[in-house]
Amino acid sequence: MRTQVGIIGAGPAGLMLAHLLHRAGIDTVVLERRSREHVRQRVRAGVLEHSTVKLLRAVGLGGRLDREGMPHHGLSLRFDRADHRIALTDLTGRAITVYGQQEVVKDLIDARETAGAPIMFDVDEVSVHDPAGDRPRITFTDADGTARALVCDVVAGCDGFHGVSRTAFPPDALRTYRREYPFAWLGILARTPPSHHELIYAYSDRGFALHSMRSPEITRLYLQVPADERITDWPDDRIWDELAVRLAVDGFDLRSGPVLEKGLTSVRSVVTEPMRYGRLLLAGDAAHIVPPTGAKGMNLAIADALDLSRALVPFLSGRSTELLDGYSDRRLHRVWRAEHFSWWMTSMLHRSPDGDPFEHRLQLAQLRYTVSSLAAATSLAENYVGLPYDLSMPGSAYP
């Protein structure tokens, strides 16, 4: 098999990169180890930054987003048993949109399949060879168990934190920065209307809680739990009782309902430098992980794909290597900004496992300052809705 860009991973980064390159007339093949059904259904993040929404519209993916997405113009920081609204749009002129990652993925899969471009699901034994050469290869077995080799001009590793792309870097060519947090998120998806019209980030003596939503009928909620917690220790009634305590303010009624999905998510920060080795480029979770508190993961992945597509168009046409040569530095500049914001939100809103009273007072001081200072509230708002980036697309390659 032969293609210009071999893309490993059918998540937001890989599928958006494939979509943008297809619009530019560049041949791509997407490889994904999971089944088509699994990829379309797996529940992940749900907050789109302002620029992400603009990009999706600009590249023909705004139809269902505009019909079903839920624009939000503020969020609540809940502490001291009171709501403190951060007016995102009033402070920044921009908004967020709640639209689940799986919905973005569905739209991208549908667009690619409509265009007749290949996504190879259920592949196994994926490996990248000769990434420093002019013709890197990806070997794999397809859904029928047939061994195959895909020869590429460039390989894009968009296969997530546990993918194989990073392992193709020589050990001395890669540096990884990481921080593991001493807690996890217990998340549920429930069939019940949201209890509040905006997202609630709650800080309480018992730990962090988040109230979010996926639609007018489906609510997404999270609890901070110990890092070694077991899902079996949390029956549905216990989850609802704990959410009610952590989210409690006067006049607030938490709506409960049937739990459709339940899971534990570890909380970590990871950055891999550089994001390029030869003709192997990393994007999305393959290169960086952020704590979910800042709602940055999917947005970073889509921004990576945009930047990488811009760089590959002149590179593959033989016009220039400049944008590709600068890809890693450009993206890491933005990645570390997002890492800092996500770390800051996480540190401010989560109780330490040892219940340190000094840290508790510091967190309350930061929360009170954030909601009482126009400058501090604006800083939170502009980072949450997403710092602006250039959405222009080169030439007629991006109609």
Taking only the tens place, the pLDDT of each residue in 135-183 is 999 999 999 999 999 999 999 999 999 999 999 999 999 999 999 999 9
CA distance 213 to 100: 9
Of 18-32, 97-111, 263-277, 380-394, least confident by mean pLDDT is 380-394
Q: Which of 270, 384, 292 is nearest to 336 (CA)?
A: 270
Is residue 379 situated within a structural domain? no
Angle at 98 between CA 95 and CA 104, to 5 degrees: 115
For every residue of the chain, which 3-state class applies, written as one string?
CECCEEEECCCHHHHHHHHHHHHCCCCEEEECCCCHHHHHHCCCCCEECHHHHHHHHHCCCCHHHHHHCEEECCEEEEECCEEEEECHHHHHCCCEEECCHHHHHHHHHHHHHHCCCCEECCCEEEEEECCCCCCCEEEEECCCCCEEEEECCEEEECCCCCCCHHHHCCHHHCEEEEEEEEEEEEEEEEECCCCCCCEEEEEECCEEEEEEECCCCEEEEEEEEECCCCHHHCCHHHHHHHHHHHCCCCCCCCCCCCEEEEEEEEEEEEEEECCEECCEEECHHHCEECCHHHCCHHHHHHHHHHHHHHHHHHHHCCCCCHHHHCHHHHHHHHHHHHHHHHHHHHHHHCCCCCCCHHHHHHHHHHHHHHHHCHHHHHHHHHHHHCCCCCCCCCHHHCC
Q: What is the pLDDT of residue 395?
A: 41
**30/132 same-domain check:** yes
In a domain, 391, yes or no: no
106: left (phi > 0), else alpha (psi -120 to 50), else beta? Answer: alpha
Q: Is residue 378 part of a domain?
A: no
End residue of a domain, out of 232, 266, 300? 266
We report the CATH number of the domain holding residue 227 as 3.30.9.10
Backbone angles phi, psi at 269, to 5 degrees: -120, 130
Does residue 373 form part of some domain? no
Q: What is the mean pLDDT of residues 18-40?
A: 95
CA–CA gap between residue 264 and residue 305 (Å, rounded)? 28
Q: Quick one: 186 and 168 in the same domain?
A: no
Residues 137 and 197 in one domain: no
Strand partners, 348: none
CA 354, 359, 361, 363 torsion-angle sign: negative
Helix axis angle for 297-316 and 327-349, nearest 10°, is 180
Model pTM score: 0.95
Q: So what's the pLDDT on residue 392? A: 63
What is the C-alpha separation between 98 and 48, in angstroms, rounded? 6
Residue 43: per-residue pLDDT: 72
pLDDT tens for each residue of 324-351: 999 999 999 999 999 999 999 999 999 9
pLDDT at 388: 86
Do both 139 and 17 map to the same domain?
Answer: yes
| Same domain for 248 and 189 | yes
Residues 162 and 198 in one domain: no
Shared domain check, 284 and 137: yes
Q: Tell me the mean pLDDT in the region 226-244.
A: 97
Residue 46's pLDDT is what? 87
- Percentage of the chain lying above the pLDDT 90 cut: 94
Q: Does residue 27 fall inside a structural domain?
A: yes
Domain boundary residue, one of 351, 372, 387: 351
pLDDT tens-digit map of 164-173: 999 999 999 9
- Residue pair 88/385 in contact (Cβ under 8 Å)? The answer is yes
Burial class (CB in 10 A: 0-12, 13-18, 19+), 63: exposed
- Among residues 201, 235, 266, which one ends one of the domains? 266
Q: Which domain holds residue 115?
A: 5-46+100-174+274-351
Query: Are 14 and 117 within one domain?
Result: yes
Question: Both 204 and 347 in a single domain?
Answer: no
Q: Active-site positions?
A: 72, 201, 292, 296, 384
Domain count, the chain: 2
pLDDT tens string 309-328: 999 999 999 989 999 999 99
296 and 226 within one domain: no
Q: Which of 17, 18, 44, 48 is nearest to 299 (CA)?
A: 48
Mean pLDDT of 258-271: 96
CA angle, residues 224, 230, 232, in degrees to nearest 5:
110
Q: What is the pLDDT of residue 393?
A: 55
Measured over the CA atoms of residue 368, residue 373, residue 376 and residue 377, the dihedral's sign is positive
Read off the pLDDT of each residue in 200-222 and give the average, rounded to a whole number. 96
Residues 134 and 216 in one domain: no
Contact call for residues 179 and 254 (beta carbons, < 8 A) = no
28 and 140 together in one domain: yes
Q: Does 396 have pLDDT greater than 50?
A: no
Mean pLDDT of the chain: 95
